[in-house]
Amino acid sequence: MNRFIFLLSLTSLLFIIQTPISQAEEGKKVDSIIIEVEGDPEERKEFIEKNYPFIDVIATYELLFNGIALQGNPRNLEKMESLEFIKAIHTVQTYEAMPYFQANHSLRQTYEELKAKETESDVIPSDLNDTEYTGEGIKVGVVDTGIDYDHPDLVNNYKAGYDLVDLDEDPMETLKEEGVPTSHGSHVAGIIAADGDLKGVAPDAEIYAYRALGPGGAGTSVQVIAALEQAVEDEVDVLNLSLGNSVNGPDYPTSVAVNRAVELGIPVVIANGNSGPNHWTVGAPATASKAFSVGAATNPQKIPYLVEPKSNRPFLIQVMMGSVPWDLEKSHKIVKAAEEENMYGKIALLKRSDIPFYDLAKEAEQKGAKAVLIANNEDDMISGSIDTGEEPIEIPVAMISKEDGEWLDRQVANDSVYLETAYEEIDTTIAPFSSRGPVTVNWDIKPDILAPGTNILSTVPGGYQSLQGTSMAAPHVAGVIALIKEAHPDWTIDQIYGAIETTAIPLKDEEGNLLDPIIQGMGEIQPSNAIETVAIIHGAKLSFGKVDQYNETKIVQVKIENQTNQDQTYYFDIPKKQKGITWELPQTFTVNKQETKTIPVKLSITSPQVEEGLQQGWLKLTRKDSDQTYQLPYLFINQTTDNPKAMGFQFALKPFSDESYTYQLYVTEPAEKVKVDLYDPQTLIFDRTLLTTEELQIGMNEGEMKKEEIGNPGHYVAIITVYLEDGTYESYETILMINKADQERKRLF
């Protein structure tokens, strides 16, 4: 059973709100923008400085993209749109986003409180470091929401940074008075290199923070790219990006920038995303071919759930961010909170509404409730938060599904209902929320590796907190790379990635079968084994691409690097025979001491004899002198598969314009046209067709629409339908807001 689905970190979709301000405020406001330009950025900088003296040029970018960062009064910045050499304008201060963090425990403000409340399920980052190394002298860049560099466990490791939101040298987390406060970057940094009461994976590493995500954890792709470029200029040794979007494609702009950063010599570790357990959910920039993308493994733990004794019906619960642990020791009566004034010793049942979760739970607590269950009002399970910075709630608060809430509501109306707490013991496995691969277009296997990603205890502004997500898994790997670079300063990026992958341990299901490659990549990271490995397998993830012909033969070259002064002999196990699939593998071969040998792995497919769609599995390679085995994942697509054909639709008022809107859409297959239809969200009655476009390419498609073409503002369900060249079509649904304020305002700022 898929028991727990978490929506957790910055690697999910961001809900963006553009906020107008008054003209009086505008006159005093200094805003920041980053523009993409044609031609030499330095020449464009000189032109702007000469012709627009009231605009400050803060920085130019030319390593990963051509851009210029500017600051000035909104009225002056608005004039920039008329310059012909500007490709795009990216605003950087007007976004807010809902945070997607999941915590099992509330904030621990001091180390003493941390130790007092620590539970068996908490994971301490330093537990992963089973080596003698500490990351000493290694510079780790953290592209995130900033960092609380005053935190006692981070202050000694923080060395420098930059704020790509405000365009200054102060990458502090967003404070409450600046908007929706953030803590994500501090948590990530602590996992890597906390060095106080709490220890990170590499406690002697140096932290360089780049604030690319502002209030609420939102930002634009260009801010992320600019942060990457700044980190490259600062010559960091490894980069961590616990962020992303929902576009499953290898050539999204942030993915291209990541590949370029790797080519310039910096390993880049990226969270795989928290949109699992479905396939094709890994998002950019974790989709970058040269990125080291990380999925989340669970730690062994006891997960609470509820049982109604009469029916023996189980209820899955999602403990909210900021809640105390759900550890009720006996059964408790459940009551509808709206109908009870005295709830002493009872579990309060509420329905999700427009009232904040904190307010719902606080009122129930004040009435004496022992715990709170909030039933969702949508079909999907979600996680919520009661962590508002206000007086903490001292009783457990959890979300249940809409279906379970409706069932309990009916039972409570007719009889007394009691719920008992039970526990499911879970061994190390893949976290249900961890995004799966593969990547569309090039069919790469992602994630590359797994690391601990549940109940990770680390630093946040004001103390410590336990969070979970692939956002927490990625910095474990960044910390391990810091250890490896200390141990092997002469190793290349390929050797670092290869050593980690070669020595990873693939996870198995309850029946002892290996989990699919697109779920776990090479498996769970093993730091000391990676550092001490006697062999490095390069290109161990075997992606054979897509089969379109009746019969095709594909070859992937695998390189095996002997790290020892003794010859090594290997052999492949012959895979179980499958109809339509023929493997040609060298059964025995020798790699001489200190040699790197290329081994061809040949796969022949007779397409009609193989089931259409995604095909994946494992090849077993054994080192004869030690009986050490290595599992090599493989994948190919036969003819067609269920990958998304279009995704990432975005629609917004064009910066500095009150007349035009812009849209973006990522397409993964050859398509003839795309149509976007709008429906009323309450009745699902068709309202109008927003746009139809026929000039499409594989990858990102962009366009503009005039205000008069948009129609009435409002809240809509948008159905995006892509008509493919093979005559088929596919649709997907998203929510679209067309704000009246957007249509009425004169400027974005």
Chain Cα centroid distance, residue 715? 27
Structural domains in the chain, CATH included, are 23-91 (3.30.70.80), 102-299+429-503 (3.40.50.200), 301-426 (3.50.30.30), 534-638 (2.60.40.10), 646-744 (2.60.40.10)
> pLDDT band at residue 212, thresholds of 50, 70 and 90?
very high
pTM: 0.82
- Say which of 90, 105, 151, 184 is annotated catalytic: 184
Give catalytic status of residue 471 as yes or no: yes
List the 646-653 sheet strands across, edge first.
Answer: 646-653, 660-667, 699-706
Taking CA atoms, 370 is separated from 216, 313, 360, 408, in Å, by: 31, 21, 14, 17
Average pLDDT value for residue range 34-47: 89
Chain Cα centroid distance, residue 546? 26
Give catalytic status of residue 144 as yes or no: yes
| pLDDT tens digits for range 631-677 | 999 999 999 888 888 888 888 777 666 778 888 888 988 999 999 99
What is the rounded CA–CA span in Å between residue 159 and residue 139?
9
- Say which of 471, 476, 516, 657 is annotated catalytic: 471
Kindly tell me if the per-residue pLDDT of 395 is higher than 80: yes
Give catalytic status of residue 186 as yes or no: no
Closest CA to 560 of 601, 522, 602, 596: 596
| pLDDT tens digits for range 282-322 | 988 999 999 999 999 998 877 889 999 989 999 999 888 77
What is the widest separation between alpha-carbon atoms in the chain?
80
SS3 473: helix
Q: Which residue has the higher pLDDT, 220 or 277?
A: 277
Average pLDDT value for residue range 61-77: 86
| pLDDT tens digits for range 408-435 | 999 998 888 999 999 888 788 999 889 9
Contact, 376 vs 401, CB < 8 A? yes
- Say which of 31, 90, 122, 144 is annotated catalytic: 144
Please enumerate in sequence order all residues whose Cβ is within 8 A of that of 69, keeping only pairs 6 or more positions apart, or say none: 32, 33, 34, 57, 58, 59, 60, 61, 164, 167, 226
List the 318-319 sheet strands across, edge first.
Answer: 313-316, 301-308, 418-426, 332-336, 347-351, 371-375, 397-400, 318-319
Average pLDDT value for residue range 521-534: 98
DSSP string, 52-65: -TTSEEEEEE-SSS
Kindly tell me if the per-residue pLDDT of 180 is higher than 60: yes
The type of residue at 366 is Q
Q: Cα-Cα-Cα-Cα dihedral of 20, 26, 28, 31, to 10°?
A: 70
| pLDDT tens digits for range 101-120 | 444 455 677 777 777 666 66
What is the rounded CA–CA span in Å between residue 501 and residue 307?
41
Please enumerate in sequence order all residues whose Cβ is within 8 A of that of 599, keeping only pairs 6 or more positions apart, or say none: 557, 558, 559, 560, 586, 589
> pLDDT band at residue 24, thresholds of 50, 70 and 90?
very low
CB atoms within 10 A of CB 482: 32
